Amino acid sequence: MPLVTLTDVVQPALHQGYAVAGLVTLGWEDMQAFVAAAEAEQSPVILQAGPGCREHTPLPILGKMFCHLAEQASVPVVAHLDHGYSFDECREAMTCGFTSVMYDGSRKPLQQNIDETAAIAELAHDAGISCEGEIGFVGYADGEQSSGTDPAEAARFAQETQVDAMAISVGNVHLQHSAGGRLDETRIAQIEAVTSVPLVIHGGSGVPVDQRASLAANTAICKYNIGTELRRVFGQALRASVAKDQQRFDRNSLLKETHDPMMQAARLVLRHLKQGASEV
């Protein structure tokens, strides 16, 4: 089926009590595995091209790759620009077939973040594309510290930008290699009380699986970004593939053996989020 927008998948999630996975892609092999996982689980999936992915592969190529996979898929697929840092980058993604862009102005002063995100959201909406913004800075494991989302600022941000989804900082951290602390459910409830926009958790790999499912079922959190835990599976599978036969050198042969482990790991992520309402 054709690519769909972020709104197309997060609005049903919001109203039906589940969340959709934004799976961070780095190349063709994981993109294929993620779509295969979504089909196996009969779940929508958001394929995300973050800064690392874009350093490796140009946006026009990524757009064609996402579009091709979506057209062959039996489930809804979103082509999403993750952490766009400029107006021009977001605009380029829109012209390359992406159906959703995330503008990250979270390091900037509130008014500047609002103004810049609103301009990108307006451009996206005029083109029939979704826009995600971020209020409150989500830090990095062993790196920049987080700055939690202020509920009053979140209400103003959602109202003035008209974003389709809002990423928040509530104890989540990017690049978490193991299970981190639990999210601040009190702060989440305070944000929910002042806005109706679907909420997004970046750094979802660090959130305990039981809390992911519970929040998906019972709150406005409709999207979790998952990257690190799946990249670890890819790395483990690739090392095993190389070690199995030291004489093999063909990259296609080596990379082929990452597909099944990546697909199975992605299936578990999708299953917990989609079935949250029935499992919690």
List, by residue number, the catalytic residues: 82
Indicate the Cα dihedral angle 40, 3, 159, 86, nearest 10°.
110
**H or E element in which residue 255 lies:** helix 251-256
The CA distance from 202 to 223, in Å, is: 9
194-226 per-residue burial string, b: 16 or more CB within 10 A, e: under 16? ebebbbbbbbbbbbeeebbbbbbbebbbbbbbb
Which residues make Cβ contacts (< 8 Å) with residue 225, sequence separation at least 6? 22, 24, 48, 82, 200, 201, 202, 203, 204
| Cβ atoms 67, 47 nearer than 8 A | no
The CA distance from 65 to 181, in Å, is: 35
Question: Which backbone phi and psi does 141 adopt, to 5 degrees?
Answer: -60, 130
Token look-up 């700055």 returns 147
The CA distance from 53 to 83, in Å, is: 11
Token look-up 């092999």 returns 29
Three-state SS string over 127-171 comes to CCCEEEEEECECCECCCCCCECCCHHHHHHHHHHHCCCEEEECCC
